[in-house]
Structures are given as structure tokens and as C-alpha cells.
Structure 1
Amino acid sequence: MLISVQALRALAAWVVVCHHFMQIFFDFHATGPIGQFFTDKGAVGVDIFFVISGLVIYLSTQNKDMPAGRFMVNRIIRIVPAYWLYTAAMGLLILVAQPLMPHAAIDWTHFILSLLFIPSENPGGYGMYPTLNVGWTLNYEMLFYLLFSLVFLFEQRHRPLIVAAALFAVSEVLTRLGVISHFYRNDIVYEFLLGIAIGVFHRRGWIANGLWLPLLAIVGGLLTIYHLAPSDRLLHWGLPSAVIVLACVSLEPYFQGNRLLKVLGDCSYSVYLLHVLVLYGGWLAATRYGLNPYAVFAVCVPLIALGGWCSYQWIEKGLYLRLKDWLDKRRNDGELKALSRQEY
């Protein structure tokens, strides 16, 4: 993994944390320029995530051939355990604290659909959000993984085009025909392709290392995001996010060997999942005891960071490795039995 990309992924996660702090504590009614920035622009962390996801999945599967099912199983055991845990925790929080959270609601049908990454209207009535509301992005991620699994049926040089065609078919054709949910008719899905394109450029050596030009590109990308609303999300936020990711790849020599940035990037998925739980807990405490929101947020930040690290170590990494070893052992045992039958 490129350390520069890890650093950017960590930054994107914490930008989303600040965005949801403004939502949960202030209902997006900012009183200052910094709060207004995170209110209006904090959601761009998701766009950066999607571009990085396309880049990482492309690079991690290059020169590898595997059954589509194995690719999906690897992604599922990497993504699902933490998501299910925090979805269950959010469901429990809603049940316990619902009198103080009138906007939140839960029912079993929607909860099960959330666990299965099936988009459905939230019973709270505020859109197509799962029980753990940040999980809406994972519905797109799982779609991307499913479609990307198709590439292993084709030659490596055709794979980016196969993914692009599959995403277009789903987002522009199947949704309009009513075959799948209109939730997927969103140009944000094409941000995965921007990440794949960056991966192609990187593999071919087309991204030169540098300092000042990449820094200028990052500034340009940030200014574009700052001045444009996400009404046309792919163009206004997706492309500038891709420019920022590409510039960070160019800056990789300045990040290499930085273990702290690697750890922060490793923890970003868990930070993304659990931060809303910590923020809601902080909001409930602030509401009940009349605490200063910013003082509460100052306590929430280290709790989110520590919780993200523990979650990564014990759930994402630890459980993933155990499940992968177990599945590999079963697969090897099955291959040995099949070979024995053939010899017999």
C-alpha cells in the first residue's frame, strides 16, 4: 500500500468525522467559517474514499488470477464483520435512546436489509440510509466489488473496460429499467473508475515523482471542491478528488517509511464506521448534562482514534486473518481430497 494514499485515506476519514460532528451536534447549522466548511464540504471525504478504493482494488489484484467467488469472499470477510458489529451497536443505541433521538427509528426488515447491503428507505424517513447511516457508502462499495469480481473472467488488459461497462450497465440501464434500486443511479459510482485509471497510470510509470507540481495540484483540487457545490458530484467533487489522489501518489517518496501514517490509514475504515456511535454518545451526554459541544468533541476524538485502532487490530486484521486461514485450510483440504479421489 502506498503510504501517501494511506495518509490521504486517514485524512478523508477524519474530515467525515468533522462533517458528522456538525450534523449530530448542530444539525448542520454552523456558526463559524470552519464549521461551515465541514458542514458544506466535509462529505467530500467519501469521494476521496471511492477514488482510493478503485485504486487499491486495482493495484492489489494486478497479476493475480483467482475465482470471482474467492475475490468476493476475501472482500466480505474484510468488510462485513466490523460493519455488522457497528450496525448492531447502532441498532441497540436507537432502541435504548430513542426517546432522545426522535429522528432515529429501527425495524427488523430494514435492519436485516442493512446487514445484507440492500438499499431501502430508513424507517426514520430521511432517505435510503441503513441502520448505521454511514453504511450507505458500503452499499456502493459492495456493488463495486461484485462487478469487479467479473474481471477475473477476462484478460488483464481488458479488465478496466469490463468494470467500466458493468458499472454503466448497472447505473444507467438496469436502474432505469427498474431491475435494481434507483439508489445506484448515482454518478458517484464512477469515482471508482477514476481510482482504477490512476492505478493504470501508476502501473505504467506515467505518474512522475515530484513536489511542487503535486502540491499545486492538491491546492487546485481543494479550491475546486471549495468553490463548487456537489450538484454534479462526479465533475465537481469526484474529478478534483482524483487529482488529489494522483498528486499524493506522486508525493510518495516523501511519505515512504512513515509508520504513523500507515497506522492511521489502516484504522480509517474502523474510524469511519464507529465515529457516529461515539458522536451520538457524546451528543446524548452533552444534551443531558448541558456540556459544551466542542469540549465533548475534544473527548470524542481520542476515543474514536483509540477505538479505531483497537477495532482494526482485533476485528479487521485479527478476525480477517483467522477467517482467511480457516477458509484457506478448508480449500486446501478440499483440493487434497479431490486429488486423492482422482488418483484412486
Structure 2
Amino acid sequence: MLGLARSPSQRWRGTPMYQNVQLLRAVAAFMVFCYHALPQYKAMGGASDVFARFAAVGFAGVDVFFVISGFVAALTTLDKERTAAKAMQFLKRRVLRIYLGYWPFFGLALLVFWQSGFALSSLDLLGSFFLASVDMPRLLLYVSWSLTYELIFYGLVAATFAFPARSVAVLAHVAFLLLGGALLSKWGEPLSPTFIFLGFLVEFLAGALLYIHRDVLRKRWWLVAGFVAVFLAYWCGASRMATDGTIRIATFGAGALFLVMLAIVLEQSRTWIAPRFAAGLGDASYTLYLLHLVLLVIFAGHVRDALTVNPYLREAGFFVFLAVGVALSRLLYLRLELPLYRWSIGAARPAKA
């Protein structure tokens, strides 16, 4: 298939992946990392206005994740047999991927935060451990709310195995339009937790629809429209600082959709395909997403003040810290997350008679 390659995790799962989409995973995780690192940079007296502007909208990396998740869910399920066994196989692998990637960093965060004097008694540790809560202030790793949403989305995808693939495509279109209309009816109003969830579900559905209509994205003229749409969406979102509400979905959510679309067009038209090393960073995006909060606690407690002795050390040291975070995430993915996932899949297979 044109534009598809296999990274280590895809080779294990048997699912080919667009290299440009894999690279976007890494970009999205890095955006979130920078967003949460920005307060540390400001506390150091950081002087880069470019970085500050970029990091200020880094939360929008989560929107990119949801669009990619919908795209990948469609990629890995729509051509499968529509049976209960296939549904359970999909759900089992997704659940194992999320929990086995999450629990080691939950344990690490618990240790680091306890040693750093955090008030752990105020947190919902049980809900955090089982990803059963989206109450961000009470989560140990407060980015884990998005994993709870992912689990729900994957449950919905598993349920679609009860329908033929063509019917699923129709249902995805109808759900996208109905939910999008419901969100538009709330324009300018604070969204309830239910509507916040539905907003991210719309992004997930948008990614699935992008996969369904991928065959039309082979012409290079889509690149011009895509670049313009990405620029306008992110410019509007940044100018309004659209951190929540329907406006976030309409700006950063739309921007995420067009960004993934651009990645697909670039690859399918063979205009540009991400190098395998760069695309391989996408495999470690989940690790970086979970690890970076722990790294920031360590940085704030043991590194930050030492870098403020002069402006050159401050700037260089901070950006080296970001690079080290990415490199460490890649290493932990290869040495911890991927082997653990491989072991779990092998252990879950029924023994041969």
C-alpha cells in the first residue's frame, strides 16, 4: 500500500502505518511537553519569545492525538472481519497498550511526587490507577484524563464490529454531523463535562472519516488548501487562546484534522515522507506524554536553579533538557514499553493443544 511503513510496534502488531502520521504523534507529544514546561521556562527568566508563543498553545497537541487515534482506529478495524472475536482482539490490544504503558509511569510518578513532598492524600489515587476519573486536579498524572476518554472511544469502536464496514462508515458520518451540530448549539457557552467529552469524540470521529476518505487525498493541490486551513485554524485558536469550549474544537480541533490531512497528502502524493528515524519517535510519543510530568518535577527541584546563573546556560540548559526528555522517552519505549507489550500479547495467547 502506498505510503505505508512499519515501525517496531507496527511490525509486532502487524499493522502498517503512515510514517508522516507517526511523526505527528511525536510532534503532538512534544507540544504537550513544551506547554507544561513553559512555566518552568518563565520562572527561569527565559528569553525566547518564539518558544513561549509555541509552548502557549502546546495543549492543542491533545487534539492532534484524538484525531490520529480516530484515524488509526479506522485503519486497524474497518478491513477486519466483523466478528465478536475480532472486536475482542482489538479491544484487548488497545486496553493492554494503554494500561501497560501507563502503570510503570504511574508508579514512577508516585515515588517521585512522594519524595518531592506532594500532598498525595488530596489525590484520587485509585481512580488515577485504573483511569477511572477525569477530575484533572485530583489525578496523579493529570494528563491521564485523555486516556480515560481513549478507553471509552475504543469501547465504542469495538461495538461497531456488530455492523458491516459500510454501515460503520455511514454511522461515523451521521454521528459526526449530529454531535457537531449539538456542539455548535453551545457556541460561546461553558461546556458541561458531557459536552467536553463529545467535543473530543467529534475529533476522534473526524480522524476516522479522514481514513475513510483517504483515497481522494492523493492530489498535490490538496496541499495548498491544507496549509491555508492549518494556518487559519491555528491562528484563530491562538488569537482567541481557545483552551476549551466549542471554539477549541472549531479551531485547534479543525487545525488538528487539517494537519493530519496534510501529513497524509504529503505521503500519498510522495511529496515528502518522514525519515524512518523521525517517524520512529512517534512510537515513543505515549512514553513522552506520560514521562514528561515526572521529568518536570525533577527539573524544578534539582536542575532549574543551577541553570539560572547566566543567560547562556539558562537557554542552552533548558533546551537540552527538552531534548533529553525526548531521547529518554525513546529509550524507555524500546527497553520498557515495547517489550512489556510484546510479553503481554504473547502471554494472552491461548496455548496450543
Unpaired segments of 5 or more residues in structure 2?
1-16, 183-191
* Distance in 1 separating the partners of 2:43 and 2:139: 19
* Identity value in percent: 26
For 1:118, the aligned partner's letter is: A
Question: Could you say if the C-alpha distance between residues 29 and 155 of structure 1 is closer, same or farther in structure 2, counting changes exceeding 3 Å?
Answer: farther
2:195 counterpart (170, 185, 194): 185
For the structure 1 residues 157 and 20, does the alpha-carbon distance in structure 2 shift closer, same or farther, using more than 3 Å as the test?
Answer: same
**Partner of residue 254 from structure 2, selected from 239, 252, 271:** 239
* Comparing 68-77 and 234-243, the one that deviates more: 68-77
What residue is the counterpart of 2:127 in the other structure?
113
Cα 1:209–1:273 change in 2 (3 A) is farther
Q: 1:94 aligns with which of 98, 113, 116?
A: 113
> Residue deviations 1:57-83, cap 9 Å, x none?
110112213533332211111121121
Alignment partners' CA distance in 2, 1:91 and 1:293: 29
Q: Can you list the C-alpha shifts for 1:129-172, whole angstroms capped at 9, x where unaligned?
A: 52111212111111111111101111111224546778979xx8
Structure 2 Cα separation of the partners of residues 29 and 153 of structure 1? 56
Cα distance in structure 2, aligned partners of 1:215 and 1:268: 28
Q: Deviations over 1:250-269 (max 9, x none)?
A: 00024447211221111111
Residue 28 of structure 1 and its aligned partner are, at CA, apart by 12
Give 1:208's aligned residue.
218
* Superposition pairs of residues 254-293 of structure 1, within 5 angstroms: 254-256=271-273, 258-287=275-304, 289=306, 291=308, 293=314
Kindly indicate whether residue 35 of structure 2 is the aligned counterpart of residue 19 of structure 1.
yes
Kindly indicate whether the alpha-carbon contact (under 8 Å) linking 1:283 and 1:293 is maintained by their aligned counterparts in 2.
no
TM-score, with structure 1 as normaliser: 0.80
Matched, 1:159 2:168: yes
Which one of 90, 93, 102 corresponds to residue 71 of structure 1? 90
Work out whether 1:61 is the aligned partner of 2:71: no
Question: Out of 193, 207, 211, which is 1:195 matched to?
Answer: 207
* Structure 1 position 27, deviation (Å): 7.1
Give the aligned length: 311
Alpha carbons of 1:43 and 1:96: their partners in 2 closer, same or farther (altered >3 Å)? same
Q: 1:107 to 1:81 in 2, by over 3 A?
A: farther
How far apart in 1 are the matches of 2:41 and 2:26? 22
The alpha carbon displacement at 1:198 in A equals: 0.2
- 1:113 is displaced (CA, Å) by 0.5
Shift of 1:32: 5.0
Are 1:282 and 1:296, in contact at CA under 8 Å, matched by a contact in 2?
Answer: no
| Amino acid of the structure 1 residue aligned with 2:294 | L
CA contact (8 A) 1:55 1:192 kept: yes
What is the rounded CA distance, in whole Å, between the counterparts of 1:63 and 1:311 in structure 2?
32
C-alpha displacement of 1:183: 3.5
The one-character-per-residue Cα deviations of 1:175-211 (angstroms, maximum 9, x if unpaired) are: xxxxxxx634311221001100101001xx211242x
Tell me, yes or no, if structure 1 residue 224 matches structure 2 residue 233. Answer: yes
Distance in 1, Cα, partners of 2:143 & 2:321:
17
Superposition deviation, residue 296 in structure 1: 3.7
TM-score, length basis structure 2: 0.78
Question: What RMSD over aligned residues (CA atoms) do the two structures have, in Å?
Answer: 3.1
Aligned 8 A contact 2:173 2:209 in 1: no
User: Pick from 64, 74, 84: which aligns with 1:48?
Assistant: 64
Between the aligned partners of 1:328 and 1:62, the Cα distance in structure 2 is 23
State the alpha-carbon separation in 1 of the partners of residues 201 and 283 from structure 2: 23
Shift of 1:105: 3.1
Quick one: which amino acid aligns to residue 257 of structure 2? Answer: A
Q: Secondary structure at the match of 1:329?
A: coil
Give me the whole-angstrom Cα distance separating, in 1, the residues matched to 2:213 and 2:175. Answer: 21
Could you list the runs of 5+ residues in structure 1 that have no partner in the other structure? 99-103, 173-181, 337-344
Alpha-carbon contact 2:222-2:265 (below 8 Å) kept: no
Q: 1:199 to 1:304 in 2, by over 3 A?
A: same
User: Secondary structure of the residue that 1:63 maps to in structure 2?
Assistant: coil
